[in-house]
Amino acid sequence: MSAREEILGRVREALGAEPAAVQPSALAEYRTESGLDEDALVELLVDRLEDYKARVEVVPRGNVAAAVRARLEGKEFAVPEGFPAEWLDPSLDERAVRDSREAPLAVVRLDGLDAVVTSSAVSIAETGTIVLDGSPDQGRRAISLVPDHHVCVVPVETIVGIVPEGFARLDTTRPLTLISGPSATSDIELERVEGVHGPRTLDVIIAR
Amino acid sequence: MSSVSLGIPAVPPRGFGNISAVEPFPQAAHRELGNAQLRENLGHATHTIRDKRLRVVSELPDWQALRDAGSAIKTEAMSRLPELLTQFEEQFTARGGTVHWARDAAEANRIVEGLIRETGSDEVVKVKSMATQEIGLNEYLEERGIAAFETDLAELIVQLGHDKPSHILVPAIHKNRTEIRDIFLREMPDVDPALTDEPRRLAMAARAHLRRKFLSAKVAISGANFGIAEMGTLGVVESEGNGRMCLTLPETLITVMGIEKVLPRAQDLEVFMQLLPRSSTGERMNPYTSLWTGVTPGDGPQNVHVVLLDNGRTRALADRHGRSALHCIRCSACMNVCPVYERTGGHAYGSTYPGPIGAILSPLLTGVEAEENSSLPYASSLCGACFDACPVKINIPEILVHLRGEDVEAKHGRDAGPGGADRAGAKSSGRRRGLPTQMDVALGAASWALSSGDRLGLLEKGLPVARALAGRDGKISRLPGLGAGWTQSRDIPAPPSESFRSWWKKRQKDAPPADGDGSTRGPATGGATSDGATEGEAQ
Amino acid sequence: MKIALFATCIVDAMYPRVAQATVQILERLGHEVVFPAGQACCGQMHLNSGYFREALPVVENHVKTFEAGFDGGEYDVAVAPSGSCVASVKHQHAMVARWAVEKGERRADATLEARAAAVGDRTFELAQLLTDVLGVTDAAAQLGSYLPGTIAYHPSCHGMRLLRLGDRQLNLLRSVEGLDVVDLPEADQCCGFGGTFAVKNADVSSAMLADKVANICGTGAAACAGGDASCLMHIGGGLSREQRTTAGDAPVRTLHLAEVLASTREHPLTFDGGLALAGSPAGGAR
């Protein structure tokens, strides 16, 4: 008997004739909506991100390019192919290195870059979580990981209040990365220290 | 669902690997308790995390509802396990991944080795994974010439220190910053000799040490926090980015996942992604969570495998009263709040799974008859702090008691003591029965005495004698046998000269109940009498 | 109201004064106390040690004894001055009844589970009964409770986590005239008793006890009060072994909630002829 058949047989035997448990959705009495308005969402997200030691600024939609430029000026950085052109000041073009699934940068090349700029798919205010889903404006997972400085644009309409609202907007079959602040560890005496293997600096630009 | 009834259902085979105590818990605890540095490190770390957890848990108005939902989803998942595993396999395969099944630790290790060999690589990077700790994968690979590099900071500390993990979330919790610095100075070839013990500096040293490994690794091995049956998605929850490095950069990714980690729906993540981070590191959300579904062309590993591991899980599942231990999401909240774990540390439990959850999970995976794990269910005062902290509401104290019952059933002598109640009723014959222990005899006798008011009353007539046996200082400071465990640090008060039962009887005689208002039966002794006051006082 | 007292085996045999105090409190409130003579023990020690077969006759005896009185109208509720014994009656008795049926025990009784549950439903811990059923919110005003001095309060695990007593015991203590209840650091931590845990894992238990004793003595209180005689015997045994004394050289004691509540101006709780909490509150214990 194959391992598969044997294990599945053991499971069936172990469960015996007991009826399958009811679907728990009927029991779901936890919150599924935050009911927060845009101002409250932005305020909460900023508070939570700053708590993680991310640098956050909230800018009008028209000022995103300037904010991105301020963060990346003088740096050589990766940018995903689908990153909105209007968010990238032409003055940065020279040092912007394009990446896509079709034409991926080598890991060592990424390691040599100073930074990366991406957009984002969904952000969850209550937990200060930004989700990247590999769309063309966010790029391959490697580009937002290897460079030491991540500049991330969060369009205000992608902000939700709580975790269930976030997952409701996500397609789990896409490669998802949930980011809550710069990389950190609590492995030494359970005290949180920011900055380990992932980007040590996280800049968030919330575009209203 | 059909089940083949052969009279007695076959007990699924036990698990093997690093899931067994190597010596009885009391003995291991005795040694660990003698380590003052360990006690200090653990006390500091567990108290830090307790406060953090309480703070972020109290922020959520629906925490109890989330716990209920988490528990219900896990119960559902277990009851639908055959169907969910099959669905997971279909989905994962349809999206470009390969599914392997492993009956036990040895089979899982062989599968992983084979997959690594196929790539031609002789080294792998690893994301912290309880499943691979459990099956002893690192040791197995090392013996066969494949180097496995742990990349989680705490795992790295343990690996460099030639040590063993003592906690499921923070395997190096037993080491303080200075000890960690010393390990780094000794074991990291390129380390700055001026390295201080500041946690930030230590984290930076780990970053530098592992950077090249990450960038050049061809094969990564991970565990998984969740497997979603609905679409074949796997998830890893982490903090440092070492997980992302392993899950993203290498060409080949091999994930070892216990079969109990499967969840029915993607939507279930909305519950567990609230429960897990707050319960484990005491954060609103952990820094990084990666979710992947098979292969994404052009993004991440293109050669993706998952090994579905039994290794005793079906044995645990077959125990109706213990199976909810499989709901565990490995958050470690139970050990962080456990007064026993806080004092002994994780090594005392022997297994990869220490603390309260380990005290039930390890014997459930191996069977409590496995001699080496039979002392684990007793490693608890049943204070219940673990149950309160568990995000999926595993009733750990109740399962501990259940397993104690199984242990007593399995091996303790039945024909114990006067009246050792009803041995004839023991139907589960055929199991090994040892000679009666002191505990068997004592509790057998107590059962006889305590199952009748008359018998207890009769025995209580001996209280004056026992009282006389106490020292002149009115206490008992030394007892033989089992009692010596008590008197090693505790006195016993001199017994009173009269039981309550006897006092009550006299009082009834002296002052028969007043009719009518039913208020008093003659004044009870006002306050405590001088006699009553000194009696029973352990002074 | 007619109230059955379940004294519990440890109080009956070792701390009769706690049961006496319970009787006083209830009678002072005008209730009639009954002591069902067939009672012995809740079986918790056996159950928690895994000796279910030996626990079964103990549980049967308890259920049989108390249900007879309930059924015969001899009393309306039962009370025990112990959180853990009440928790056992409420939660574990039905469990062991179920166990016996599942295992096909010779003396298994299919009706025991429901009967045990019925007895459990009408059984209360002392503070629970006083607060929830008898409406006692101010011990000084309603019971005349008076005890000058300083105490620390240890909320025992089973009362706290199995019965969810919350602040019931603490609030009653705080409403005793003359009594200063100081905060006990790490109050919610187990004292390390745990029944046979104290002997099976004596080293760990002793380490837990040492911390509890240190925390109590650090408060400077003259005594540690609680609602479980078994935990108090454990803590008291540690205090005694370490010969802990107050600034006034009196031994640091343990007191049961019932004893504290029963103490009045007319008949204050005394030890060796002196007030119970002599030596407090000045200075710290050592």
Yes or no, beta carbons of B532 and C16 under 8 Å apart: yes
The burial class, CB within 10 Å (0-12 / 13-18 / 19+), for B437 is: middle
User: Where is the domain boundary, C92, C108, C133?
Assistant: C133
Give the mean pLDDT of chain A.
94
Residue B190 CB: number of other CB atoms within 10 A?
8
Joined together, the tokens standing for residue C53 give 């077969």
Average pLDDT over residues B103-130: 97
A6 lies in some domain: no
| Amino acid B424: pLDDT | 38
Average pLDDT over residues A178-197: 89
* Distance from C-alpha of B192 to C-alpha of B209, rounded to nearest angstrom: 11
The reply to whether A8 falls in a domain is: no
Let me know if residue A14 belongs to a domain. Answer: no
Q: Each residue of B466-487: pLDDT tens digit?
A: 888 887 788 888 888 888 889 9
Distance between CA atoms of residues B311 and C129, nearest Å: 49
Residue A120 scores a pLDDT above 90: yes
Question: Residue B8 — left, alpha, or beta (φ > 0 → left; ψ -120 to 50 → alpha)?
Answer: beta
Same domain, C153 and C117: no
Residue C143 sits in the same domain as residue C267: yes
Contact A11 B81 (CB under 8 A): yes
| Pairing assessment for the beta strands C270-271 and C274-275 based on DSSP bridges | antiparallel
Mean pLDDT across C99-123: 94
Give the pLDDT band (50/70/90) at residue B33. Answer: very high
Judge whether C96 lies within some domain: yes
Q: Note whether B106 and A9 are within 8 A (CB).
A: no
Token code pair at residue B268: 């279930």
The answer to whether the CB atoms of B314 and A184 lie below 8 A apart is no
Taking the CA atoms of B114, B117, B119 and B125 in sequence, report the sign of the dihedral they define.
Answer: positive
Q: Same domain, yes or no, for C162 and C258?
A: yes
Question: Does the predicted interface ipTM exceed a cut of 0.90?
Answer: yes
At residue C65, φ and ψ (nearest 5 deg) are -65, -50
- Residues C129, C145, single domain; the answer is no
Instruction: Give the C-alpha separation, C206 to B485, whole Å.
Output: 9
Fill in the DSSP letter of residue B533: H
Q: Render pLDDT for B67-95 as a digit per residue (tens, 0 to 9).
A: 999 999 999 999 999 999 999 999 999 99
Give the DSSP letter string of B220-258: EEE--SEEETTTTEEEEEESSSHHHHHHHSSSEEEEEEE
C-alpha B323/C-alpha B311 separation (Å) is 14
Share of chain B above pLDDT 70, in %: 89
> Structure tokens of A24?
């728990």
C256-277 pLDDT tens trace: 999 999 999 999 998 776 777 7
Q: How confident is the model at residue A164 (pLDDT cuts 50, 70, 90)?
A: very high
Region A191-204: mean pLDDT is: 90
Q: What is the DSSP string of A50-104?
A: HHTT-EEEEE-GGGHHHHHHHHHTT--EEEETTS-GGGS-GGGGGGEEEE-SSSP
Give me the pLDDT at residue B11, please: 85
**Token digits of residue C24:** 């006083």
Q: Are residues C233 and C201 both part of a single domain?
A: yes
Tell whether C76 and C163 lie within a shared domain. no
The minimal CB distance from A189 to the residues B72, B176, B323 is found for: B176
Residue B270 has pLDDT above 60, yes or no: yes
**Residue carrying the six token digits 């078994």:** C230
| pLDDT tops 60 at residue B539 | no
Query: Per the domain annotation, does A150 fall within a domain?
Result: yes
Residue C15 located in a structural domain = yes
Percent of chain A whose predicted confidence (pLDDT) is above 90: 87
CB B362 within 8 A of CB B353: yes
pLDDT at position B372? 84
Residue B140 neighbours by CB under 8 Å, 6+ apart: B109, B113
Task: Specify the pLDDT at position B527.
Answer: 42
Residues 128-157 of A with CB under 8 A from B: 128-129, 134, 140-142, 145-146
Question: Is residue A9 situated within a structural domain?
Answer: no
Q: What percent of chain B has pLDDT over 90?
A: 77
* Amino acid identity, position B264: P
Subunits next to A (3 or more Cβ pairs <8 Å) are B
| Average pLDDT, rounded, for chain B | 89
Nearest CA to CA, how far is C144 from chain B (Å)? 11
Non-local (6+) Cβ contacts of B506 within 8 A are: none
Best of B201, B260, B299 to disrupt the A interface (most A CBs within 10 Å) is: B299
Q: Which structure tokens are listed for B390?
A: 């568990």
Question: How far is the alpha carbon of B343 from chain C, nearest alpha carbon, in Å?
Answer: 7
Q: Residue C286 domain-assigned?
A: no
The verdict on residue A53 lying in a domain is yes
Summarize pLDDT for A69-118 with one digit per residue, the tens. Answer: 999 999 999 999 999 999 999 999 999 999 999 999 999 999 999 999 99
Q: Band the pLDDT of C285: cuts 50, 70, 90.
A: very low
User: Is C166 an interface residue toward B (CB < 8 Å)?
Assistant: no
Distances (CA, A) of B432 to B320, B371, B408, B409, C200: 23, 12, 11, 9, 22
Q: How many CB atoms lie within 10 A of CB C34?
A: 15
Count the helix, strand and coil residues of chain A and give each as a percent rounded to the nearest 5: 30, 25, 45
Domain check: are C96 and C150 in the same one?
Answer: no
Can you spell out the DSSP letters for chain C? -EEEE---HHHHHH-HHHHHHHHHHHHHTTPEEE--TT-----HHHHHTT-HHHHHHHHHHHHHHHHHHHHTTS-SEEEES-HHHHHIIIIIHHHHHHHHHHHT-TT--TTHHHHHHHHHHTEEEHHHIIIIIS----HHHHH-BEEEEEEEE---HIIIIIS--TTHHHHHHHTSEEEEEEPPTTTTS--S-TTTHHHHTHHHHHHHHHHHHHHHHHTT-SEEEES-HHHHHHHHHHHHHTT-B-TTSPBPEEEEHHHHHH-BSSS--EETTEETTTT-SSS---
Domain that holds residue A84: 37-207
Distance of CA B435 to the CA centre of its chain: 30
Position C135 scores a pLDDT of: 97
Q: Collect contacts of C240-243 with beta carbons under 8 A, ≥24 apart.
A: C240/B475, C240/B490, C240/B491, C240/B493, C240/B538, C240/B539, C241/B477, C241/B489, C241/B490, C241/B491, C242/C213
Range with lowest mean pLDDT among B282-286, B530-534, C175-179: B530-534
From residue B450, alpha-carbon distances to B301, B380, C9, C246 in Å are 66, 24, 8, 38
pLDDT tens-digit map of B126-153: 999 999 999 999 999 999 999 999 999 9
Choose among B248, B239, B65: nearest CA to B155. Answer: B239
Q: Do at least 3 CB pairs under 8 Å connect C with A?
A: no
Cross-strand partners of A97: A78
> Any idea which of B172-176, B417-421, B499-503, C171-175 has the lowest mean pLDDT?
B417-421
Q: What per-residue confidence (pLDDT) applies to B369?
A: 85
Residue C194 has pLDDT above 60, yes or no: yes
- Contacting chains of C (3 CB pairs or more, <8 Å) are B
The first and second tokens of residue A13, run together, are 């035997």
Judging by DSSP bridges, how do beta strands A193-194 and A184-185 pair with one another? antiparallel
Q: Are B533 and C18 in contact (CB under 8 A)?
A: no
Query: How far is Cα B300 from Cα B261, in angstroms, rounded to an integer?
Result: 23
Identity (one letter) of the amino acid at B3? S
| Whether residue C65 sits in one domain with residue C8 | yes
Distance separating alpha carbons of residues B348 and B110, to the nearest angstrom: 29
Confidence band, pLDDT 50/70/90 cuts, at residue C233: very high
The runs of H, that is alpha helices, within B367-512 are: 385-389, 396-411, 438-450, 453-460, 463-469, 483-487, 500-510
Same domain? For C178 and C267 the reply is: yes
Q: Which of A128, A188, A192 sits opposite B177 (nearest CB)?
A: A188
* CB distance C257 to C126 below 8 Å: yes
Structural domains of chain B sorted by starting position, each given as residue range(s) with its CATH number in brackets: 25-314 (3.40.50.10420), 438-507 (no CATH)
The number of folded domains in chain A is 1
* Overall domain count for chain C: 2
| C47 and C121 within one domain | yes
Residues sharing a CB contact under 8 Å with residue B74, sequence separation 6 or more, in sequence order: B324, B326, B327, B392
Q: Which residue of B has its CA nearest to C46?
A: B443
Q: Which of C157, C206, C254 lies at the smallest CB-CB distance from B488?
A: C206
| C143 and C270 fall within a common domain | yes
Beta bridge mates, B410: none
B9 pLDDT band, cuts 50/70/90, is: low
With 70 as the cut, is the pLDDT of residue B528 above it?
Answer: no
Three-class SS state of B304: strand
Q: What is the pLDDT of residue B309?
A: 98
Domain endpoint, select from C112, C133, C154: C133
Domain range spanning residue C80?
Answer: 2-133
Q: Give the 3-state secondary structure of residue B425.
A: helix
Instruction: Return mean pLDDT, chain C.
Output: 94
Give the CATH number of the domain where residue A146 resides: 3.40.50.10420
Tokens 């029963």 sit on residue:
C262
Q: Is the dihedral of CA B54, B56, B62, B67 positive or negative?
A: negative
Is position A71 within any domain? yes
Confidence of residue B190 (pLDDT cuts 50, 70, 90): confident
Residue ending a domain, among C133, C150, C165, is: C133
Interface contact flag, B317 A16, Cβ < 8 Å: no
Rounded to an integer, what distance in angstroms lies between the CA atom of residue B520 and that of residue C109? Answer: 39
Looking at the structure, tell me whether residues C120 and C229 fall in a common domain. Answer: no
Sheet containing C32-34: order of strands: C32-34, C2-5, C77-80, C123-125
Query: What's the pLDDT at C284?
Result: 38
C-interface mutation test, from B27, B30, B400, B489, most C Cβ less than 10 A away: B489
Chain B, 197 to 236: residues with Cβ < 8 Å from chain A are 199-200, 202-204, 206-207, 210-211, 214-215, 228, 230-231, 233
The DSSP H or E segment spanning A46 is helix A38-51
pLDDT at residue number B23: 92
> A137 in a domain, yes or no?
yes
Look at residue B285 in the predicted model and tell me its pLDDT: 97
